[in-house]
Amino acid sequence: MKVARYIGNGEVAIVDEAIPSCPEGGLLVRTEACGLCSGELMSWYMDRKVPHVLGHEVSGVVIESQDERFPVGSRVFPHHHAPCLQCELCRQGLYVHCPHWKRTKLAPGGMADFFAVDAENLTDTLRTDDLRPVDAALIEPLACVVKSIRRGTGFQPMGITTVPGVDKVAPSTQAADELVVRQGANLPHWTRPGATYSVTFRLADAVPRHVREEWRLERERLAAMADRLTERELWNRKHLHAERVQSYLNEGHGSSILRDHRAAGLVQEGLKHFDGERYRLYAWCVMPNHVHAIVEPLPGYELAEILHSWKSFTARQVNKLLGRTGDVWQSESYDHLIRDAEDYQHALDYVLYNPAKAGLLNYQFVGETVHRWRGGAGRGEHARDGRDTHGLEARATAAVIGLGVMGLMHCLLLPGSVGYDLSPGRIEWATRQGIDARLPDDAEPADVIFVCPGSQAAFDFAMRIANPGATIVMFAPLGPGEALAVPQEAYFRDITIRHSYSCGPEDTREAAEAIRDGKLKAEQVVSEFIGMDELPRAYGRMKRGEILKPMIVWDDSAK
């Protein structure tokens, strides 16, 4: 097979190598698309890796599999680094610092006719059957941007960054009564008197049979692991499974009958109907094919009864409204027992932010009530419906410095942001993508600034346009031996400086979702789709700034 190997001094050679074998428990993949990363142009970084097969922005088709989740013929995106999800660093959400993450890789690399995905990498490998290969190949760079934006805006979505309750006994903010585990049709449900829950229930057709079967097999594997893993390890894996489910729901599969605002309004009113009488409803979100809510049953009422009441009443009303018959909701629901104030805040952020993350701006079927949660977390004294978006879309004064590929991606995920570059050609390209792109001379102050080039000059410009209290995110490193010079004024103006390196599993899932939502298409950031033999020349042209980004495609059908 052909591979693209970096041989040093800014040069790439196309060479022949043997096709790798399928690793035990892993995958062998036929490559369909692979992008050239701007990081692969940094000679000081690449020369120390010689000889090195290029390519980690990759997608392909499985041709041999030893994992049921990724059958032969399925399309996949594998992250070239994957965390263990078990160590203390992973527990804190610091995936890129996990020793396991650092040692994992694709063999021999993405810019090859075929590559192997080790079983260890499958903790951050996604099915992408519904995406064009050229779009799926952009999941990794877009995930790096998702993480950068999260670090810049301060939004931390509900995820596996903490393990609530694992090291705690009877948290003071919840009743310390005995925990009851009730087995549902497919899932166990944990309940406790006086507890608060984050719940999700979905439309009957929101998840196709083959996906439900994948989830069932994964639950069975988790059950089989129970006696071999610690409580923390098992919790991590179960929570990651739940996050995969949530990510899939946000993709909007099935009929999505709740896109009809009349139907969504009926469901929203149904959730609020017995608020304060049978339960305290803290927050809710009615998405096109599923519902999120944070609810505390009042004495005398059980969570299962409340969920049944919500689903049966709204099913009748929605069917009557739309003139349809049959099941509206799937029988099983997902519920998470909230353990402490931090867990509550994560759940609240997740529910209220869900529409914005799915691209539903100024959405009217999301909100929170006047109730103050006993744990002390919450957002205010007044109920709000039609939640204003926060996180990615919330910062109207976001700036992006550098309109290369990564800068473009930042702008595309930050509607209303302003992008700056010195190159008229890049400004013209960005403008064609609907971005407010300008020369630095036309700058205005900003609250959060993403610095994409690894240069002191770019940082200095960020300092000049930073509002008091602003956050500056350094997306790329300076060269070896260079130290970032931070002026004293950063202290007196309360400027926060953050760095953002690579990405983890939560970020790749969010990136895949953003692509499915149409927030990024390959043509917006890829200037040339080329064959493998054209890469050596394209590498030099990208390094010299003559082209924006090349992507190798192995077949025109990849586009």
Domain assignment of residue 80, yes or no: yes
Domain assignment of residue 512, yes or no: no
Contact of 553 with 530, CB cutoff 8 Å? yes
Residues 474 and 542 occupy one common structural domain: no
Contact of 353 with 390, CB cutoff 8 Å? yes
Number of domains in the chain: 3
pLDDT, residue 268, reads: 95
Residues 487 and 549 occupy one common structural domain: no
pLDDT, residue 204, reads: 87
Indicate yes or no: pTM above 0.75: no
Domain assignment of residue 11, yes or no: yes
Contact of 403 with 419, CB cutoff 8 Å? yes
Residues 451 and 536 occupy one common structural domain: no
**Where does a domain end: 329, 351, 368?**
368
Domain assignment of residue 373, yes or no: no
Domain assignment of residue 169, yes or no: no
The SS3 call for residue 270 is helix
Q: Is the dihedral of CA 249, 254, 258, 263 positive or negative?
A: negative
What's the CATH number where 307 sits? 3.30.70.1290
Residues 254 and 345 occupy one common structural domain: yes
pLDDT, residue 182, reads: 45
**Where does a domain end: 351, 368, 385?**
368
Residues 494 and 534 occupy one common structural domain: no
Residues 337 and 422 occupy one common structural domain: no
Instruction: DSSP letter for 551, please.
Output: E
Closest Cα to residue 475, out of 47, 34, 152, 19? 152
Closest Cα to residue 241, out of 263, 223, 265, 255? 223
Residues 6 and 64 occupy one common structural domain: yes
**252: which 2 tokens?**
């909007």
What's the CATH number where 57 sits? 3.90.180.10
Residues 19 and 84 occupy one common structural domain: yes
Residue 111, domain extent: 2-129+527-558
Q: Checking DSSP bridges between strand 334-337 and strand 366-368, what pairing results, if any?
A: unpaired
What's the CATH number where 429 sits? 3.40.50.720
Domain assignment of residue 287, yes or no: yes
Distance between CA atoms of residues 403 and 437, nearest Å: 8
Residues 72 and 28 occupy one common structural domain: yes
Closest Cα to residue 286, out of 307, 259, 251, 309? 259
Contacts of residues 37-43 at CB distance under 8 Å and 24 or more positions apart, as own/partner, are: 37/141, 38/404, 38/405, 38/406, 38/542, 38/549, 39/476, 40/6, 41/539, 41/542, 41/543, 42/479, 43/9, 43/10
Domain assignment of residue 518, yes or no: no
Residues 439 and 550 occupy one common structural domain: no
Domain assignment of residue 514, yes or no: no
**Where does a domain end: 499, 516, 538?**
499
Residues 219 and 322 occupy one common structural domain: yes
* Spatial CB neighbours of 448, under 8 Å, sequence gap ≥ 6: 152, 153, 395, 397, 398, 399, 470, 471, 472, 473
Residues 338 and 450 occupy one common structural domain: no
pLDDT in tens, the chain (559 residues): 999 999 888 889 999 999 999 999 999 999 999 999 988 988 888 888 888 899 999 999 999 999 999 999 999 999 999 999 888 888 777 899 999 998 999 999 999 999 999 999 999 999 999 999 999 999 999 999 999 988 887 543 223 222 222 232 223 333 334 444 444 444 444 556 778 899 989 898 876 666 666 766 766 666 666 666 665 555 555 555 555 665 665 555 678 899 899 999 999 999 999 998 999 999 999 999 899 999 999 988 888 899 999 999 999 999 999 999 889 998 778 788 887 787 788 888 889 888 877 767 678 899 888 777 765 444 433 344 443 333 333 334 899 999 999 999 999 998 889 999 999 999 999 999 999 999 999 999 998 999 999 999 999 999 999 999 999 999 999 988 899 999 999 999 999 999 999 999 988 988 998 899 899 999 999 999 999 999 999 999 999 999 999 999 998 777 7
pLDDT, residue 158, reads: 29
